Amino acid sequence: MNESTQPIIVDLPLRGEWSCPNTPGTKVPSHGTDQFAQRYAYDFMMVDWNRKEQVFFEGSAWRYFLLGVPLNKCLGWGKPVHAPCDGEILTAADGYKERQPVHLVRDLLIAWKNAFTFNPEKVGLQPVAGNHIIMRFGNTYALLAHLQRGSICVRQGQRVKKGDILGRVGHSGNSTAPHLHFQLMDSPDPLTAQGLPCAFTYFERFENGVWKPVEGGMPTDKDRFRLLETEGNVL
């Protein structure tokens, strides 16, 4: 990221090994738009690093293209999502369905439909964000989206500590594969907020066969990175 604004440092909201296909560590706007405060947003996806295609699912790629993949065969689905900082829960929106199975063509068509027809004044935020949480810390707001249906374990008004489990990675809303969408904002409404740059306290990047520590950094879309349970809150 070449912009001069200093990023806000928070903890990575996931544990284990992840990839980041959309990240401000590679380009800004990370999602190609400033809409919905997404300028500096991250998408975290778990992939199989041992396969050349680095797919996000178990089994044949042909099954994914032709029939779809059950959610329980998707590598990141159901993984715990952690609070990136101490804060207060403002929104805990659950109950929105996840599509089963995950199917490339159908999910892309839904994404395209939402891009051209989504009207939040009529249907609210959930058709895009799915099951989601908005939390406040100081004058900053974090959105964690596309969570697993029925997994959100916090409620509006609850105070949480950094590292607390909030929910689980899902495939709800405008999602083409199970993943976590994460962004910081300057106000609690993504429809009117501005996105804020964000970096992470600590993670490890896999380089030349070795895990190397990164402090206050942003993963790129080429990175294999991780945060182990014992490495949370290092700084």
Q: Which among 154, 141, 128, 155 has a CA at the least distance from the CA of 188?
A: 141
Do residues 93 and 132 make contact, with C-beta atoms less than 8 angstroms apart? yes
Residue 116 lies in a domain: yes
How many Å is the Cα radius of gyration of the chain? 17
SS3 63: helix
Whether residue 235 is contained in a domain is answered as: no
CATH number, residue 16: 2.70.70.10
pLDDT of residue 65: 86
pLDDT in tens, 46-101: 999 999 889 999 998 888 888 899 999 999 999 999 999 999 999 999 999 999 99
Q: Is residue 231 part of a domain?
A: no
For residue 118, the model assigns a pLDDT of 62
Q: How far apart are CA 36 and CA 183, in angstroms?
A: 10
Q: Partners of 65 in the beta sheet?
A: none
Q: How many domains does the chain have?
A: 1
Is residue 3 in some structural domain? no
In terms of DSSP H, where are the helices of the chain? 61-66, 104-117, 120-123, 126-129
Residue numbers of the domain that contains 206: 8-225
Low-confidence ranges of the chain (pLDDT < 70): 1-4, 114-116, 118-123, 230-235
35 occurs within a structural domain: yes
Position 126 scores a pLDDT of 84
In a domain, 230, yes or no: no
CA angle 225, 209, 205 (to 5 degrees): 20
Query: Domain for residue 234, yes or no?
Result: no
Write out the two tokens for 1: 């990221």
In a domain, 145, yes or no: yes
Pick the closest to residue 171 from 82, 20, 69, 23 (CA basis).
69
